Structure 1
Amino acid sequence: MFKAKLFNQFLAIGWLFILLFSQLQASEKQTLLDNIKLPKGFAISLFADNVPNARTMTLGNKGTIYVGTRSKGNVYALQDINQDGKAERRYIVASGLNMPNGVAYKDGTLYVAELNRIIRFDNIDQQLSQPPKPTVVYNKFPAKKMHGWKYLRFGPDNKLYTAVGAPCNICLPKEEVFTSLVRLNPDGSDLEILARGIRNTVGFDWHPMTKNLYFTENGRDWLGNDIPPDELNKWTTKGQHFGYPFCHGGELLDPEYGIDKQCKSYTSPQWNFKAHMAPLGIRFYRGQQFPKSYHHQLFVAQHGSWNRTIPHGYRIALLTFKAGEVVSEKVFAEGWLGKNGKAMGRPVDILELADGSLLVSDDLAGVIYKITYTGN
């Protein structure tokens, strides 16, 4: 009798701690939301608040959101069943994977980019609670972890696009697949290297009108607080070289690898971001919910600096295009970086929903935000 009573007391105390911890987490997330500043007329809320290390996102049938991770090895599926702007259901559709950062969806099939391979889950929408075993699509990517996590998208040509980053901060890899943008058929055949000289890109999108492919690139570290710039690049022609490791930002020769080189020999960026902003996911706005000034403009998740004395980034920027050229950059959403220089969150990827609202993933806070335009 005494042991049973003691056990029940311990159990009650345990549940109390869980409840208090849950309330504390909810309070912290509400504080984070309250800190985020948006332009007048926009609102932000939590779409999902239990998605540890949430990275890239893709939209499936019936509004299901699939989310990849880098450090957790999980792929999640989120569903907003009652259309109240918050995901009531969360499924783990894959676990134990090797840096499953990239996710792409097409015709009922979920594609996942791991460190050294691409796999797929067929008929995933009907099997969220009991997901099928994956089928290997391609398994010949290098297994180097540094900059090995991948972004994955279907292009307008219905081919899969991804990239293989540099296995270092600054080096000239011997294997030609490193520092490259590649594409392949959905069945894994016909891998093509489209471009080289790309240190690390984990975000790209196609312009809604021109169909040109734009991608972010994270510049090298350890050259100082303010150089080299991070980049937004445009791919147009097979065989382009974007400069790494010889030239950075279209104008700065590398002190080690840029000797006897000229920056004009390489494709220059469309836009230079400040150094160490770490631009990741990007999305051209195609919807109608936001005001016309946002239509076909580019949202950029700036993950934030680590190799800088005074941190910056940790925000969402908006690049304005005119006549096919980037003409300006301004802050769209900020507040993830506290006044004490400590990050409360780190935006990673941006996804547009059918109603024109945006989802933003945060791998530090482990949440997905929803940004809507209310006009108020």
Structure 2
Amino acid sequence: MSSLLRHPRRLCCLLVALSALLPVARAAEVPRGLVLPPGFTISLWAELEDARTLVLGADGRTVYVGSRRAGTVTALRDTDGDGRADARWTLATGLSMPNGLAVRADALYVADVDRLLRFARIEASFGQPIAPQVLRKDLPRDNAHGWRYLAFGPDGKLYLSIGAPCNVCEAPGYAELRRMDAEGRDEETVARGLRNSVGFAWRPGTRELWLTDNGRDWLGDDQPPDEIDILITPGAHFGFPYCHGGRLPDPQFGRGRSCDDYSAPALRLDAHVAPLGILFYGGSQFPAGYRGRVFVAEHGSWNRSRKSGYRVMMADVVDGRPEDYRPFLLGFERDGEVSGRPAYLLELPDGSLLLSDDQGGRIYRIRYSGGNGG
């Protein structure tokens, strides 16, 4: 099957498109014990296996979902405006960790591990099989940290992450951020030293790119910190594998090097919280004080003696820096028991937020309904 997937014409038979609207399952509900600030509510928006990356279509109504382990790309839509998705189209199956999704005009871009695909006229294709155009098939094939993140920047370029193929190692051409034009050409590396950055966003009104980065493992429960990094000038190096968190030399690769030679993180997070999605809130549905805040989905630890993360955090942005990093949504982890893993965030046109949970196979909608939510 893997050989078939590398031939776009044959891939058609593996792309499942529904000719009719199918109801999205509503059996699962919100786990008990989730905690938001006063005045906020959370509800189930959709149930979808391994729901992970979320991007909004050009129509402002369709949400595209990348499911990394399931290898699928799905379109969801709330057609009746009741706050739950009631229409679903499976656009692609049999892909290899399609974590990276981006929309430009009427085209959907999808990053496989080693390929960059483009589905043209995506909305017009709902209900019929389509084959993607393969823009690139020369990306690194390593599965370790091989799931990509994609986004178009304010410069019109397509940005794509390349994770390190290891826990910690020297690997030229990896642990970096690249950008290219919309055809996948004229590629250049704009940042290095990013072990595994699978979430980034531009601060509104600027060309500052804020990235989440997952630190290395096996230096203990409490180090190194995960990071939020800010790329202002292309060419920055954020330290991996030589320095972690801007101040911790790697015991193997940091010998003879100084952390002062690398760009320090804008914010050091707790160790192993695994930050993924990052979003600047720009809507007006939340109270005014939330506008401009940055939100981060912490996926949660897998190798810590006591679990950390499993929450959505937020911070004010003061003079271009994150300040007062604090919880927005808690309760997915209680006393070592986990009911979900926050992955990615998406702001809907009405100002509510969607949050994907790839462990629970759910997408939640968070909205403000009144009260003291400052």
TM-score by length of 2: 0.91
Task: Report the identity percentage.
Answer: 47
* Corresponding residue for residue 66 of structure 1: 64
1:284 maps to 2:280: yes
Match of 1:53 in 2: 50
1:129 and 2:127 correspond: yes
* 4+ aligned runs moved over 3 Å, structure 1: none
Aligned-pair CA distance for 1:95: 0.3
CA distance in 1 between counterparts of 2:107 and 2:30 reads: 37
CA contact (8 A) 1:315 1:331 kept: yes
Matches within 5 A, 1:1-376: 26=27, 29-30=28-29, 32=31, 34-49=32-47, 51-62=48-59, 63-173=61-171, 176-339=172-335, 341-376=336-371
User: 1:82-102: CA deviations, max 9, x gaps?
Assistant: 111100011110000111111
Contact 2:29/2:43 (<8 A) preserved: no
Deviations 1:151-173 (A, max 9, x none): 11111111111110000001001
2: CA distance, partners of 1:120 / 1:327: 38
Q: C-alpha distance in 2, partners of 1:327/1:96?
A: 42
User: Structure 2: which amino acid aligns with 1:30?
Assistant: E
CA distance in 2, matches of 1:363, 1:166: 22
Distance 1:235 1:227 in 2: 23
Is the 8 Å Cα contact of residues 241 and 267 (structure 1) preserved in structure 2?
Answer: yes
The superposition leaves residues 112-157 of structure 1 with CA deviations (integer Å, 9 ceiling, x where unpaired) of 0110111011111011221410001112111000001001111111
Q: Deviations over 1:7-51 (max 9, x none)?
A: xxxxxxxxxxxxxxxx9x93xx4350x3211000111011101x1
Give ranges in structure 1 of 5+ residues lacking alignment: 1-22
CA distance in 2, matches of 1:262, 1:292: 43
**1:35 partner letter:** G
Q: Is the 8 A contact 1:137 1:186 kept in 2?
A: no
Distance (Å, rounded) in 1 between the aligned partners of 2:323 and 2:232: 19
The alpha-carbon deviation at position 210 of structure 1 amounts to: 2.4
CA RMSD in angstroms comes to 1.4
For residues 294 and 35 of structure 1, what CA distance do their matches in structure 2 show?
23
State how far apart, in whole Å, the 1-side matches of 2:121 and 2:201 are.
Answer: 25
> Secondary structure at 2:334's aligned position in 1?
coil
- Give the C-alpha shift of residue 55 in structure 1: 1.1
The Cα of 1:109 is off from its aligned counterpart by 0.5
d(CA) in 2 for partners of 1:296 and 1:140? 37
Quote the offset at 1:273 in angstroms.
0.3
Q: Specify the code of the residue in structure 2 equivalent to 1:52.
A: E
User: How far off is 1:342 after superposition?
Assistant: 2.0
Q: Is the 8 A contact 2:201 2:210 kept in 1?
A: yes
SS in 1 for 2:215: coil
User: Which amino acid in the other structure matches residue 29 of structure 2?
Assistant: Q
Distance 1:325 1:52 in 2: 36
Larger Rg: 1
How far is the alpha carbon of 1:249 from its aligned partner? 0.4
SS in 2 for 1:264: helix
Structure 2 counterpart of 1:314, which letter? Y
Separation in 2, partners of 1:188, 1:233: 25
Cα distance in 2 between the residues matched to 1:158 and 1:52: 32
The superposition leaves residues 55-81 of structure 1 with CA deviations (integer Å, 9 ceiling, x where unpaired) of: 111100331000001111100100100
Q: In structure 2, what residue type is equivalent to 1:244?
A: F
Structure 2 unaligned blocks of 5 or more: 1-24
Name the aligned partner's letter for residue 128 of structure 2: Q
The answer as to whether partners of 1:124 and 1:131 remain within 8 angstroms in 2 is: no
Deviation per CA, 1:248-295: give whole Å up to 9, x if none.
000000111111110000000000000000000000001111112111
Alpha-carbon contact 1:214-1:235 (below 8 Å) kept: yes
What SS does the aligned partner of 1:54 have?
coil
What CA deviation, in whole Å up to 9, does each residue of 1:178-217 have, x standing for no partner? 0110011111110110011110010000001323000000
Q: CA deviation at 1:218?
A: 0.2
3-state SS of the aligned residue for 2:333? coil
- Which amino acid counterpart does residue 252 of structure 2 have in structure 1? E
